[in-house]
Amino acid sequence: MNRRTLLAALIAVPLAVAWAQQPERTGPQPTLPTEKLTIVTRDGVSHPFTVEMALTPEQQEIGEMFRPAVPEDGGMLFDWGQPRPSQMWMKNTLASLDMVFINPDGTIRAIAENTVPRSLAVVDSRGPVRATLELAAGVTAKLNIRVGDKVLHRIFTAQP
């Protein structure tokens, strides 16, 4: 074993042990601060939402876990701070969601509709995004929200 491999193992093992010793979360996180967000569809219809802002790694890791429902005019916006691939899952998430993956300019890159509660399957953005928006399952279909539509919120550049 070379020095780098040994050093990596000496660092990784305590981190893995500390992670394993964390108590298993059994309830939802407190309601996060909310902000207004609007999705404008390609036909010019505006749909307002009030979304919780998941900004810290801990808030983002917990997300919508253990919440029985998401309001149709609400949701949670995961701000990644800069463009990066977004890989979400539904572990401990009780309600099905629509996941909207948003480019830095606010255009919708991809949508995963009706995700499976409690699933460990990865829901992928299929490329770098600035943010991920979780909405109640079925909202994107009901409101005719599609890839290419525009999300208006302070974190997105090049707003109209």
Residue 75: pLDDT band (50, 70, 90) is very high
Q: How far is CA 35 from CA 21, 42, 53, 74, 154, in A?
A: 35, 23, 7, 10, 9
For the 33-152 domain, the top CATH level (class) is mainly beta
List, for residues 85-136, the tens digit of each pLDDT value. 999 999 999 999 999 999 999 999 999 999 999 999 999 999 999 999 999 9
Average pLDDT value for residue range 45-63: 97
Domain spans, the chain: 33-152
List the alpha helices (DSSP H) in the chain. 3-21, 57-62, 139-142
Residue 157: pLDDT band (50, 70, 90) is confident
Reduce the DSSP state of residue 15 to 3 states and report it.
Answer: helix
Q: What is the pTM of this model?
A: 0.83
Average pLDDT value for residue range 39-43: 97
Q: Is the pLDDT confidence value at 8 over 50?
A: no
Q: How far is CA 150 from CA 8, 34, 48, 94, 129, in A?
A: 43, 20, 12, 28, 14
